[in-house]
Amino acid sequence: MAPPRGKVAFITGANGITGNAIVENLIRKPESEWSKIIITSRRTPTHNFWQDHRVRFIALDFLRPVEELIEKMAPLCHDVTHAFFASYVHTADFTKLRESNIPLFHNFLVAIDIVAASSLQRVCLQTGGKPFEPLTKLRPIGRDTPTLVNEKPDQHRQVSANTWLDRKGSMDSHVLGICQLVSN
């Protein structure tokens, strides 16, 4: 079987607002640019939102063991070039967000890196603003409020359970590990 001509997208959290928006954007691109668009969420959508032959669905729960994810992903995701992580597990207790969302991202990252090792070019961590809502309650947001560009990596870790920082740290560590393997 010949490899796809265009890029291959893998989008998690496709039932959510962000995942849906990414899919909507990609299906408007020509097939020569995006030849296959693989979407996933924990539950199968009740109906097909996208009438595009490039869209393929696979039900995955990234809280499951990595080995199980790899087994389910391998047949369809081996040629993924671009992975978009838009999954999120909500809980009313902000301090418990880490318990689900850090393993969720870690399992995704490890599984896609193994399954699409020879084709993966980019991973996009899309988190939205939910992880930052409690920070706005800790201090007022204004002109002098630090942004992610100039904040220190551990600035809020003691104050909140900010999952964005942890997921970014997980991705940085994973990429650093890959770079060290390649350079040896």
Q: What is the pLDDT along the chain (184 residues), one digit of tens a residue?
A: 555 579 999 999 998 888 999 999 999 999 999 999 999 988 877 667 788 999 999 999 999 999 999 999 999 999 999 999 999 888 787 777 778 888 888 899 999 999 999 999 988 887 665 555 544 444 444 545 444 444 455 544 444 455 556 666 666 666 555 444 443 3
Residue 1 lies in a domain: no
Residue 23 lies in a domain: yes
- Number of domains observed in the structure of the chain: 1
With a CB cutoff of 8 Å and minimum separation 6, the contacts of 125 are 85, 105, 167, 168, 171
> Tell me: the pLDDT tens digits for 152-172?
555 444 444 555 566 666 666
Segments forming the whole domain that contains residue 25: 7-183
Residue 159 lies in a domain: yes
Backbone CA torsion sign across 151, 155, 160, 162:
positive
Report the CATH number that the domain containing residue 109 is assigned in CATH.
3.40.50.720
